[in-house]
Amino acid sequence: MSLFPQHIIARKRDGHRLQAEEIAAFVRGATDGSWADYQLSALLMAIFLRGMTAEETAQLTDAMMRSGVVADLSHVPGIKVDKHSTGGVGDKVSLPLAPMVVACGVPVPMISGRGLGHSGGTLDKLESIPGFQTGLSLDAYRAQVKRIGCALIGQTKDLAPADRTLYALRDVTATVECIPLICASILSKKLAEGIDALVLDVKFGRGAFMKTLPEAKRLAEALVAVGRAGGKQVRALLTAMDEPLGRAVGNAVEVAESIACLRGVGPADLMEVTYALGAHMLILGGVAQTTDEARSRLEASVRDGSALACFREIVTAQGGDARVVDEPERLPAATWQVPLVAESTGFVGDVDAMAVALAALGLGAGRTRAADRIDPAVGVTALVKRGERVERGAPLCVIHANDPTALAKAKAALARAIVVTDEPPTLPPLIAEVLL
């Protein structure tokens, strides 16, 4: 078998199934630089066009996971469970979810990413807390998970380094939307964390990566299959993302809403998704038998304050100003906080998630390029939800801005994104399906 790049590229180009040794050579070339970027890009495009079998995808995931260090958390008691979301608008679930689950006795080692484009990043939200450090070393990560049951950090240079190279190339070669490559990218990092089980939140709709439920289900099924092939317990929830999750979109504003969730006063849709994901994490973590039992435990962790106390402990451990947990007004605040009011009385017929995300992006809440700087203070809060009744002159949302020109553009965009109708819309279920 020839392992020259051009021969491997030609075999996939011609529709052949790649052998494990060929896949390993490709990943090794991405890691050590022995394959040129144009050769890596050529094989990525061949995979995009020809696809991969389930076995090939599992082998690619395993090779990418092993391209760096695989964290060993065997010294941490209990079943280690993480959650991953495919990304959406206002998706701050990880922030309240992790401390809730930890408060119920399940360790949560969580390595997250930054936002790029319309989808926000967990790390950017956390770093809006003054002093919060997401760049822990693997040793510090392992020690913190053992000590307090959770660490919320970014990908280190040692974890799945092949993915950083390949993802950067996918981003500029129009090969992002490929299920085998998505699976390998997500799971190589997650499996390298040292987890035992994983719950996936696969979103669909206008504000999601996958626009339709069938597309999202295909991705979820592939992720579950590959994760299980890697020896992990995996479940997936398919959740709707046509309107933003919760009532806040941004960074500091989403941290504030996450704290509200931990106090039991978060938006109903955000609480529903958080409890649903957390319930399956508790079941996989071996501390609950049914979703009803698990949800009761999660709700109790909010009522008795143990989940909020756990979040405070995480913030303190990672250098953040823990006073924000009790005083969210200490989070970065924008110069202008301007309401957008309804021009007519009626029902909220639509809140376009993608349009809201792009408005927040224009305010400076996200990145269009990886090198862009984020303004942690800007965003949108007090968003109305579909089906709610509004009166003429009542606020539809509040825009947080530090630039008057950006404020004016966001106001115009949000006025188009939020539609008031005479009759209430039919609301589909927030959680469409669960893959066990």
Active site residues: 84, 163, 170, 185, 189
Closest CA to 238 of 33, 433, 49: 433
3-state secondary structure of 158: coil
Question: Per residue, what are the HEC states of the chain?
Answer: CCCCHHHHHHHHHCCCCCCHHHHHHHHHHHHHCCCCHHHHHHHHHHHHHHCCCHHHHHHHHHHHHCCCCCCCCCCCCCCCEEEEECCCCCCCCHHHHHHHHHHCCCCEEEEECCCECCECCHHHHHCCCCCCCCCCCHHHHHHHHHHHCEEEEECCCCCCHHHHHHHHHHHHCCCCCCHHHHHHHHHHHHHCCCCCEEEEEEEECCCCCECCHHHHHHHHHHHHHHHHHCCCEEEEEEEECCCCCCCCEECHHHHHHHHHHHCCCCCHHHHHHHHHHHHHHHHHCCCCCCHHHHHHHHHHHHHCCHHHHHHHHHHHHCCCCHHHHCCHHHCCCCCEEEEEECCCCEEEEEECHHHHHHHHHHHCCCCCCCCCCCCCCCEEECCCCCCCEECCCCEEEEEEECCHHHHHHHHHHHHHHEEEECCCCCCCCCEEEEEC
Measured distance CA(220)–CA(235) in Å, rounded: 9
Q: Are strands 233-240 and 197-204 parallel, antiparallel or unpaired?
A: parallel
CB atoms within 10 A of CB 327: 11
Q: Which two tokens stand for residue 304?
A: 């008795």
Asked whether 330 and 255 are in contact (CB, 8 A), the reply is no
CB 257 within 8 A of CB 246: yes
